[in-house]
């Protein structure tokens, strides 16, 4: 399997929050900030606000906001600005060298609120332009600094499939967090999957650090799917916050589905519903029974070393093996089952099960299936009494959708 991205700090993306408030409730405690007299690359003015009073009988616009220079602001704080005696025409919230924070201005110009959360340990300038009843324009600015966070206080989401990848119809969406998410409900509300054509699906939490998503049925061939993890600065629980929002888009290719029958020793391969090849195979012998159920190709190797000690068979055993260059190997379980070339068992292929659990075939047949396969293609196994499980690789299809959905936090 292609390696997932490692942890990094990135731009925090939109988290949609609504409502207007001048004071923040229910947020983490603030700490003292550094001095507010430093400049940035886009503002050299001191902090200022609209001032009450009147000129020629017309009241000045009075501004209030929920940020200021005296205390560090939590990263999950929503910046808000409110005006009285006039209207807000423009608000710019920006850190030096960064894009402005996105926000929404009320239709009557009375309020503005951010629709993005904040970066840790960052100084922002809030610039506001207002207009009073006579059309007089005023500009004001103020600074604030956010609470700094270490990487041990931020959880990064690694996503599979990768951006732009073409996958098979059985590919689950997999999100690995490098620190635990205990407030799963809050996170899942900000984890959106959209597809064209639209397909019903659900998240399923495997653990505090791993969550999968699958549609109700296999993805439709030709689908385009986008994963939007809108978790920037979102509290994950136990003092941890989302480090970075992620957006990943991928494509679902042809529906390549192989059906392995361990009793007939045959594998039938279908492409977009059409049978294209029947292959004689061998599966696991007694004591090494191949699992029955739905498996998904996880990784492909043109050649791979296979050593029996990695699956619990000790060196010196009559069943031990150590082969440096097994050809056309495709992993279908995390426990060690592969489809691969097995020229040493060609005489048994189509007749008997003689492997240690893998699905073996001739080199020619293995090359053929390898060349038409991709990550996410489905291999359905029948004919044994050993079941495939949900957590053994991409085992997501081994539960009904109704049961699988029970793993959602929502």
Nearest Cα to 214, choosing from 173, 255, 167? 173
Q: What are the respective helix, strand and coil percentages of the chain, to the nearest 5?
A: 10, 40, 50
Residue 125 tokens, joined: 């300038």
How many C-beta neighbours within 10 Å does residue 21 have?
12
Which of these, 167, 86, 98, lies nearest to 376 by C-alpha position? 167
Measure the N-to-C terminal CA separation of the chain; round to a whole number of Å: 30
Q: What is the widest separation between alpha-carbon atoms in the chain?
A: 102
CB 284 within 8 A of CB 319: no
Burial 103-130 (b: 16+ CB within 10 A, else e): bebeeebebbbbbbbbbbebbbbbbbeb
Measured between alpha carbons, how far is residue 167 from residues 4, 27, 126, 325 in Å? Answer: 15, 41, 44, 26
222: nearest Cα among 201, 200, 195: 195
Taking CB atoms within 8 Å and a gap of at least 24, the contacts of 197-202 are 197/223, 199/223, 202/401, 202/404, 202/405, 202/407, 202/408
DSSP secondary structure string for all residues of 70-123: SBPBPTTPPPEEEEESSEEEEEEEEETTSPPPPEEE-TTSSEEEESB---TT-E
From the list 304, 277, 300, 235, the residue with the least C-alpha distance to 364 is 277
Phi-psi region of 306 (alpha: psi -120 to 50; beta: other; left: phi over 0): beta
Residue recorded with tokens 């097994």 = 326
Which residue is associated with the tokens 């793993």? 407
Q: Cα–Cα distance between 403 and 383 in angstroms, integer?
A: 24
Active site residue 340: yes
- Which residues are catalytic, by number? 340, 358
């Amino acid at each position: 399997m292609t390696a997932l991205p490692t942890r990094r700090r990135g731009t925090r993306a939109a988290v949609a929050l609504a409502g207007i408030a001048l004071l923040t409730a229910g947020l983490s405690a603030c700490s003292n900030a550094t001095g507010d007299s430093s400049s940035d690359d886009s503002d050299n003015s001191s902090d200022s606000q609209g001032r009450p009073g009147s000129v020629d009988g017309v009241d000045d616009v009075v501004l209030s906001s929920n940020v200021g220079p005296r205390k560090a602001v939590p990263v999950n704080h929503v910046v808000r600005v409110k005006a009285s005696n006039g209207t807000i025409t423009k608000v710019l919230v920006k850190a030096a060298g960064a894009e402005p924070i996105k926000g929404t201005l009320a239709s009557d110009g009375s309020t503005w609120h951010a629709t993005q959360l904040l970066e840790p340990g960052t100084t922002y300038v809030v610039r506001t332009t207002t207009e009073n009843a006579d059309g007089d324009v005023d500009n004001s600015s103020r600074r604030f600094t956010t609470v700094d966070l270490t990487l041990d206080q931020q959880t990064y989401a690694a996503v599979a499939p990768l951006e732009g990848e073409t996958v098979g119809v059985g590919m689950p969406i997999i999100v690995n967090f490098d620190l635990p998410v205990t407030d799963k409900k809050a996170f899942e509300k900000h984890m959106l999957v959209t597809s064209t054509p639209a397909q019903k699906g659900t998240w399923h939490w495997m653990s505090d650090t791993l969550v999968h998503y699958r549609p109700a049925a296999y993805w439709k061939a030709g689908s385009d799917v986008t994963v939007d993890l809108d978790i920037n600065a979102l509290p994950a629980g136990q003092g941890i916050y989302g480090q970075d929002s992620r957006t990943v888009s991928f494509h679902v290719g042809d529906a390549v589905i192989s059906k392995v029958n361990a009793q007939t020793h045959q594998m039938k391969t279908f492409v977009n519903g059409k049978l294209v090849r029947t292959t004689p195979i061998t599966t696991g012998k007694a004591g090494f029974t191949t699992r029955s159920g739905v498996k998904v190709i996880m990784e492909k190797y043109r050649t791979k070393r296979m050593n029996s000690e990695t699956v619990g068979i000790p060196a010196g055993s009559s069943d031990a093996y150590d082969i440096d260059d097994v050809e056309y190997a495709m992993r279908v379980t995390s426990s060690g089952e592969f489809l691969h070339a097995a020229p040493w068992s060609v005489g048994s292929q189509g007749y008997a099960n003689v492997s240690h659990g893998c699905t073996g075939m001739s080199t020619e047949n293995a090359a053929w299936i390898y060349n038409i396969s991709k990550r996410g293609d489905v291999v359905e196994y029948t004919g044994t009494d050993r079941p495939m499980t949900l957590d053994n690789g991409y085992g997501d299809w081994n539960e009904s959708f109704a049961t699988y959905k029970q793993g959602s936090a929502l």
